[in-house]
């Protein structure tokens, strides 16, 4: 394979974008912590008690759809379907490749089993 200058510049631009995003995110968090610190120091000088609060607040009532069993079901069904299609469509010499999606099937079964087993402890 031969890579061009354009390929390298695309990779550099992506890397710079990721680093820039992480830098801006870090700076905004630092600025927020600095503002909180200034507010708390001003309140301490005035003698106003402030309650403790976590720095990273979780969204209230954000119990979305159960992602783990859905992902497990999708992985399992897609990998089983792919195995069936590969088994039926490959020639006799390359029929052994039908098991190539098997790790994804095991991953799907593992995610579903994790959801079932962890669901008992959540109730």
Q: Which of 60, 75, 104 is the last residue of a domain?
A: 60
- Encode pLDDT of 50-69 as tens digits: 767 666 665 655 555 678 88
Whether residues 56 and 1 share a domain: the answer is yes
Q: 17 and 55 in one domain?
A: yes
Average pLDDT over the chain, rounded to whole? 85
Q: Is the pLDDT of residue 77 over 90?
A: yes
- Does 3 share its domain with 44? yes
Q: What confidence category does residue 108 fall into, taking pLDDT thresholds of 50, 70 and 90? A: very high
Q: Which pLDDT score, from 0 to 100, does residue 95 have?
A: 80
pLDDT of residue 44: 85
Token pair belonging to 50: 């402030």
Confidence category of residue 84, pLDDT binned at 50, 70, 90: very high
Query: Are 72 and 50 in a shared domain?
Result: no
Residues 110 and 89 in one domain: yes
pLDDT at 76: 94
- Whether 103 has a pLDDT exceeding 60, the answer reads yes
Residues 40 and 20 in one domain: yes
If asked whether residues 72 and 90 sit together in one domain, one would say yes
**Report for 31-40, 59-68, 101-110: range of highest mean pLDDT:** 101-110
Residue-wise DSSP of 6-43 = HHHHHHHHHHHHHHHHHHHHHHHHHHHHHHHHHHHHHH
> Are 93 and 110 members of one domain?
yes
Structural domain range at position 19: 1-60
Residue 81 and residue 53 in one domain: no
The predicted structure's pLDDT at residue 16: 96
Number of domains comprising the chain: 2
- Concatenated DSSP letters of 59-80: PTT-----HHHHHHHHHHHHHH
On whether both 53 and 86 belong to a single domain, the answer is: no
């Amino acid at each position: 394979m031969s890579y061009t200058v354009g390929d390298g510049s695309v990779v550099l631009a992506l890397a710079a974008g990721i680093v820039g995003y992480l830098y801006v995110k870090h700076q905004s968090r630092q600025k927020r912590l600095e503002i909180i610190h200034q507010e708390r120091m001003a309140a301490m000088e005035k003698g106003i008690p402030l309650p403790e609060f976590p720095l990273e607040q979780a969204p209230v009532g954000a119990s979305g759809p159960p992602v783990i069993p859905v992902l497990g079901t999708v992985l399992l069904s897609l990998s089983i379907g792919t195995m069936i299609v590969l088994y039926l469509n490959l020639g006799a010499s390359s029929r052994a490749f039908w098991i190539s999606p098997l790790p994804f099937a095991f991953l799907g079964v593992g995610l579903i089993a994790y959801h079932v087993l962890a669901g008992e402890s959540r109730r």
